[in-house]
Structure 1
Amino acid sequence: MCLAAAPPALAASGSDHPEFSLDSSSDCEFGGKNIESTPWSLQRIIMNQLRDKATGKGITVAVIDTGVDDRNKQLAGQMAPGGEDFVGNTDGTEDLQGHGTRVAGIIAAKKIAGTGFQGLAPEAKILPIRYTGGQTKDGKPKQGNSNTMVAAINHAIEQDVDIINISSDTADRKDVAPLRKAVARAVAKDILVVAASGNDGFDAKSQKTYPASYDGVVAVAASNRNDERAFFSQAGDFVDIAAPGVGMVSTVPRGGQCTADGTSFAAPYVAGVAALMMERYPDWNAKQITARMQETAQRPTAEPNRYVGWGVVDPMAALSNSSEPGETPKLAKPKRGGGEVTAMKVTMGETPAEREQRIATYVLGTGLLLVFVAGGSGVAIRDWRRKQSPSGSK
């Protein structure tokens, strides 16, 4: 099992290397075991109901990342033809770091015996595009940059994909003109571009990241089990929506699964929901798909805010309203329920990231006495955190 607990290291100032790891996973065993239990991120959905609505059939999602290893049984047969490698000589199905394989699994991993994990859109196809995370002939890491990301986006456009998932941002959070133009080209082609918002939100200050901040991109924040912003998730007015990003189980190269935290894994959750919606509502454009996801998201207030945007995506609610939406979301009453979804009991414990946050709370909360009882400590901390957290809105 691989576990993530700290923010990724920043690239050197002025460099052009991407911060592709918008998670901070420690070592993960490739070719390891599967996790038997159902992840909490799927326990919030009644999967049979979701499958009755859509499976993602006929939809292609480009995963622009470190590659996607289709030797994992849950990803075998899930690749679309036309994959590409801009830092190597493969068809995009080599993944030396495992990041892209985890991203792809959240979108389209097949259901198999022995694990409760599966992708949200198992009949969608993944177009694997490696733009970073390669290796030179002498075995040294070969990282991509904004140029290889631009090439990857352009390739995805040429392959006529429906959705592009980018779980990355640029070094120093720079707005790079060629990248901006490539994203704009994809948006103009009615391709839904989904991007992770970033993992430097520990101080809750607003700061733009790219490509998530570009016009037309669906910027995804990470939420926890309580549908609150994950403490590391980047805040900002550009955030459009949130999705589970803590303790995210997914596929790894050569087989098996591991767990990691990060907005990297919240973004493909949204991409998976979008794939389902595109199958169910084939006449809707990308803006309409986005608007309906935002309108039906679970949020604590009537208006969107800079922490979770319009709220935490609700797959069943997004797929249960066939009335045609506009191209911009409309405000409605605060939505806490999940439509037809009945929440299941969460059985997975806290992740190391959440445990470190809890310990930090003890240290920073000197002078504050909390009385904990078995099974009640999480509630006490959450209630205290809510009182202390700033509230902001767009």
Structure 2
Amino acid sequence: MAALALGACTSTSYAQTQELAPAVPGEFIIKYKDGHSPAQLEAAASSELQTPSLLQRIRTMFGAESPMQSELNSLKALESKYDLQSVSALETYDQPGAEALFNETYIYKYNTDVNTTDVMRDYENIDGVEYIEPNYIYTAFKAPNDPNYNSLWGMKIIKAEEAWEISTGAQTVKVGVVDTGIEVNHPDLKANTLKSEGMGPGCPNNTDTGNHGSHVAGTIGAVGNNTTGVAGVNWAVSMNGYAVLCAGGSGSLASIAAGVNKAVADGNKVINMSLGGSSDSTTFHNAIINAKNSGVTVVVAAGNCWNQPQSQKCPLSNPTQRGSSDYTYPAAYPEVITTAATTSSDQSASFSNRGRANDIAAPGVQIESTWPPSTYQSISGTSMASPHVAGAAGLLLSVNPNLTPDQVQNALQCTADDLGAAGWDEVFGHGRLNLKKAIDAVQSGNIPTCSTPGQPPSTPLPTNPGGATNTPAPTGGQQVHPCPEEAAKGNYNCTTPTDDNDYKAWEAEFKQGVSSLSPWFEYIRKAIYN
């Protein structure tokens, strides 16, 4: 995926934890601790000068600066050092929840030739900075394919026809499409689209310059039973487009976060994001947290990098991480419904990311849908799978508008048709979407519950398994000797992870069955997966 990565809310060192990923040159998202933004420091310093305390008067006598003034001077020095062009606050659209998460969060635009690592390191050294991250670029998840496939096999395999006997949707349900925009005048979208708002630089209103968003919108809500083109999961719905991917199918972190915030402010109850990146972002994660806290179900694509070569859209150098939803953002965030892609024969799509983050699967190969300005196209990708699930979420809300995001997620994933290994697995999640079973669960009021494992544990395993012959497994499971191949030799110098990032990278390999790289790998594999 292109540039984004899901992230924890705690700040960590950029240089140590991030593989350089595509970002807008010279642009950064900076969040200050309360009272530590330049404007707040300047106001406090000015107030202190007007009514100086005894301590401040003593500092003045000896020509010393107050801590506030010192921090302010450090920030101003960095602004000068890197040639600051502009600063703007990240828009929250007056949402109380978002304002709490994004208080004192700003978009800094520096000279485009600045060294990203240097800027990050300098700001991280200032105590009043809560976090800084590049303004990452995210891309649409789409793979080139034959445009002439005209069968809506996806609707049939998810049992949409049976579900439509109960509901075909409702205009009262709003669904936000954070993508390349929606072609609002498309004959199969016009009646079900309220607007398409340009959120990113160069993104126009009420049209779609990238085609991707309109295709996604058609699967969610192309008008049904109108003798025209295709039918979406919802024959009736109210969609809002938020154009954030306008530069060749890519968009910045700031634009996407603003798009999510605006979608929440506009009252959408479902948001679809068929996009992603490889960089974990606190800003992006906070936007999603705010969405779920506001009662919005967020559905995202798992990513298209499984078994794919390293490229701009699949940038990670480690092939196991590259094809994993656990290292794709926003797919890896626990607040979203991460969707893998399946074929018409219920097989995993060749490109569909796998991982502990996968919640559910849906049709994603040769999916026909609406295409600007007024035609139709068949394309493939987890981008096409995600709107099947987002559309399903909207249909469930047409039956019961009071469902919480957790109830919607459980109704969808816990009634899915199990594919692959029995129960949840990393390829299909809980299984392929079965819309009829999901809507039956909602209508009956008997919604089952189930959970997705999610990301690997954040605490690294012991760096020294020790020589005991019955070392406890670190996360439960069978107790095994840490170095079975070396035990007879009395040699316990196993290769061990050095930090949490190494562990996560290696764990991604363990779960694919790669256990031959060292005895330590075999130890981990048995401890976790037996």
TM over 0.5: yes
| Cα distance between partner residues in 2 of 1:82 and 1:96 | 11
Of residues 75-84 and 63-72 in structure 1, the stretch that sits farther from structure 2 once superposed is: 75-84
Please report the RMSD computed on the Cα atoms of aligned residues, expressed in angstroms.
3.0
1:205-226 deviation per Cα after TM superposition (whole angstroms, max 9, x unaligned): 4442111111210000001112
Q: Does 1:70 align with 2:190?
A: no
Q: Secondary structure at the match of 1:86?
A: coil
How many residues end up aligned between the 2 structures? 314
TM-score by length of 1: 0.72
Query: What letter corresponds to residue 107 of structure 1 in structure 2?
Result: I
> What's the CA shift for 1:133?
1.1
Partner of 1:18: 137
Partner of 2:199: 85
1:349-386 deviation per Cα after TM superposition (whole angstroms, max 9, x unaligned): xxxxxxxxxxxxxxxxxxxxxxxxxxxxxxxxxxxxxx
Of residues 184-193 and 224-233 in structure 1, the stretch that sits farther from structure 2 once superposed is: 224-233
Alignment of 1:370-389 (within 5 A): none
Structure 2 vs 1, CA of residues 45 and 299 (structure 1 numbering), >3 Å: closer, same or farther?
A: closer
List alignment gaps of at least 5 residues for structure 2: 5-18, 24-135, 309-318, 453-511, 515-524
Structure 2 vs 1, CA of residues 302 and 250 (structure 1 numbering), >3 Å: closer, same or farther?
A: same
Higher relative contact order (CA 8 A, sep 6+): 1
Structure 2 vs 1, CA of residues 280 and 62 (structure 1 numbering), >3 Å: closer, same or farther?
A: same
Structure 2 vs 1, CA of residues 53 and 254 (structure 1 numbering), >3 Å: closer, same or farther?
A: same
| Cα distance between partner residues in 1 of 2:406 and 2:149 | 37
1:125-184 deviation per Cα after TM superposition (whole angstroms, max 9, x unaligned): 1111001215xxxxxx695211110110111111111001000002xx111111111111
Query: Do the aligned residues in 1 keep the contact of 2:140 with 2:179 (CA within 8 Å)?
Result: no
Structure 2 vs 1, CA of residues 158 and 84 (structure 1 numbering), >3 Å: closer, same or farther?
A: farther
1:225 to 327, 339, 344: 344
Query: What letter corresponds to residue 436 of structure 2 in structure 1?
Result: M
After the TM superposition, which parts of structure 1 deviate over 6 Å for at least 4 consecutive aligned residues? 8-12, 389-394
Query: Do the aligned residues in 2 keep the contact of 1:208 with 1:238 (CA within 8 Å)?
Result: no
Structure 2 vs 1, CA of residues 36 and 168 (structure 1 numbering), >3 Å: closer, same or farther?
A: closer
| Cα distance between partner residues in 1 of 2:250 and 2:431 | 34
List alignment gaps of at least 5 residues for structure 1: 1-7, 29-34, 135-140, 332-388
Q: Does 1:235 align with 2:354?
A: yes
1:308 to 417, 425, 428: 428
Q: Does 1:329 align with 2:329?
A: no
Alignment of 1:212-361 (within 5 A): 212-300=331-419, 301-321=421-441, 322-325=443-446, 328-329=449-450
Q: Does 1:40 align with 2:153?
A: yes
Alignment of 1:128-207 (within 5 A): 128-133=241-246, 143-170=250-277, 173-202=278-307, 205=320, 206=324, 207=326
Query: Do the aligned residues in 1 keep the contact of 2:3 with 2:279 (CA within 8 Å)?
Result: no
Query: Do the aligned residues in 1 keep the contact of 2:306 with 2:352 (CA within 8 Å)?
Result: yes
Q: Which structure carries more strand by proportion? A: 2
Structure of higher CA gyration radius: 2
Identity %: 26
Q: Secondary structure at the match of 1:124?
A: strand
Of residues 236-245 and 45-54 in structure 1, the stretch that sits farther from structure 2 once superposed is: 45-54
> What's the CA shift for 1:50?
2.4
Q: Does 1:52 align with 2:165?
A: yes
TM-score by length of 2: 0.55
> What's the CA shift for 1:258?
0.7
Q: Secondary structure at the match of 2:272?
A: strand
Of residues 187-196 and 41-50 in structure 1, the stretch that sits farther from structure 2 once superposed is: 41-50
| Cα distance between partner residues in 2 of 1:132 and 1:266 | 19
Q: Secondary structure at the match of 1:156?
A: helix
Query: Do the aligned residues in 1 keep the contact of 2:183 with 2:208 (CA within 8 Å)?
Result: yes
1:198-255 deviation per Cα after TM superposition (whole angstroms, max 9, x unaligned): 0011279444211111121000000111222111100010000000000110110111
> What's the CA shift for 1:9?
7.8
Of residues 254-263 and 274-283 in structure 1, the stretch that sits farther from structure 2 once superposed is: 274-283
Partner of 2:494: none
Query: Do the aligned residues in 1 keep the contact of 2:146 with 2:378 (CA within 8 Å)?
Result: no
Query: Do the aligned residues in 1 keep the contact of 2:158 with 2:433 (CA within 8 Å)?
Result: no
1:279-331 deviation per Cα after TM superposition (whole angstroms, max 9, x unaligned): 11223211011101111101134420011100000011111123435684279
> What's the CA shift for 1:47?
5.0
